[in-house]
Structure 1
């Protein structure tokens, strides 16, 4: 990441220094690029942290968030869950829930279908919850999942 930021800053500076006309206008590209990057990262962080609870686990099943922007969630009883596993995306660790019925969550709307489609491509399922940016530790979350699932689904 530091290398990328360094390249973004060094390339326009090098062009400006080697330009015959001074090339000061190229130096304005650096703050614009950094601002665009900050906006994208800020939006992503806001999407992750907004919209209410992400995961709730109990003896009968679990609620898991289906959209990054709204508090929309789906209820899955333990019997409807095929597998629960963990995946990593950059620094973020995700708890992934795969339903037995691939049509689960299919009637939640077009935007949800788009979000879960991208999640499906990255994690193998449309139902994911962060475990390292949660209000409990990863160990506590996984212990609760194991305890409440009671062998009714695979947990890896």
Structure 2
């Protein structure tokens, strides 16, 4: 079945009419486009011989210079030998090998400062501790050291050590070639121990209270003898528990943030490190060498904490 021929639409105005026999075939490979200059031909008006110059402009003929160079125009950079020009404003100066500072192998290298810079955060900072020289005594429950009870214990320790030394020293003095002057070692050792224990008693007694408890938190020393007083709110405390070390029983207060109380001095850092190794925290207060009983102190801590931290 053949399709009927359709009449060709009339071309719009301005379009060329169809040629008899169809449109002309495109040029074949190797052919040239009409009016294209052939190889070797020069463009019209282009100087192509030695000593020839460009045609004159309407403003008048331009003079020729040796080598075809022209003087610089207003605002243009002057020419230098080799065609090089000095760097423009804002351009990087050239260096041997074509490298410029801050570039390696054509890639820009950005140098960043090493270490923390001022004005930039360096990570979470430890919470600042509220400190005082002494524990205030205006809180509802205040615990003070019992110097007399501790002095009795220190005296008993000195007597026991004296008796331990007296046995071998007496045997040496009773020997045939022994000298009674050997027995002087015993009182000298006991005197040195008494001086040391006496200094410790003075530090403890002159440091003020060892613990103060209130509805909002508690005050405790940063060192067992004579450290700074540190304020710990109940929300910052994780656990309160008793521990025993030799003849002394302590109440230990463990903060939620172990960094709390850091930066209080070298001696405090040393004592706090030892206490953390033995008790798990650097904040401790005496229980059996206080002016209040152990049961009373633990009951007051549990009552004022009101479930905001673990006690016991």
The TM-score normalised by the length of structure 1 is: 0.88
How far, CA to CA, are the matches of 1:121 and 1:41 in structure 2? 24
Q: Which residue of 2 aligns with 1:149?
A: 305
Q: Work out which of the two has the higher radius of gyration on C-alpha atoms and give 1 or 2.
A: 2
Greater helix share, structure number: 1
Q: State whether residues 52 and 71 of structure 1, in contact with CA within 8 Å, keep that contact through their aligned partners in structure 2.
A: no
Aligned in 2, Cα 1:73/1:3: closer, same or farther, shift over 3 Å? closer
From 133, 139, 143, the counterpart of 2:289: 133
Q: Which residue of 2 aligns with 1:117?
A: 273
Q: CA deviation at 1:68?
A: 3.7
User: Any gaps of 5 or more consecutive residues in structure 1?
Assistant: none
How far, CA to CA, are the matches of 2:275 and 2:176 in structure 1? 45
Greater strand share, structure number: 1
How far, CA to CA, are the matches of 1:120 and 1:71 in structure 2? 16
User: Any gaps of 5 or more consecutive residues in structure 2?
Assistant: 1-156
Q: Alignment RMSD, CA only?
A: 1.9
Q: Which residue of 1 aligns with 2:173?
A: 16
In structure 1, the residue corresponding to 2:253 is in which secondary structure? strand
Q: Where do residues 1-156 of structure 1 align in structure 2 (5 Å cutoff)?
A: 4-20=161-177, 22-70=178-226, 72-156=228-312
Q: CA deviation at 1:149?
A: 0.8
How far, CA to CA, are the matches of 2:191 and 2:277 in structure 1? 29
How far, CA to CA, are the matches of 1:121 and 1:70 in structure 2? 20
How far, CA to CA, are the matches of 1:119 and 1:19 in structure 2? 50
Q: CA deviation at 1:61?
A: 1.0
How far, CA to CA, are the matches of 2:293 and 2:241 in structure 1? 16
Residues 16-69 of structure 1 deviation map (CA, whole Å, 9 limit, x = unaligned)? 11151x422211111111111212222233333221111111111111011244
Q: CA deviation at 1:89?
A: 2.4
Number of aligned residues: 155
Q: Which has the higher contact order (CA 8 A, sep 6+)?
A: 1
Residues 108-153 of structure 1 deviation map (CA, whole Å, 9 limit, x = unaligned)? 1111112222222332211011122223222221111111111111
Aligned in 2, Cα 1:41/1:122: closer, same or farther, shift over 3 Å? farther
In structure 2, the residue corresponding to 1:28 is in which secondary structure? helix
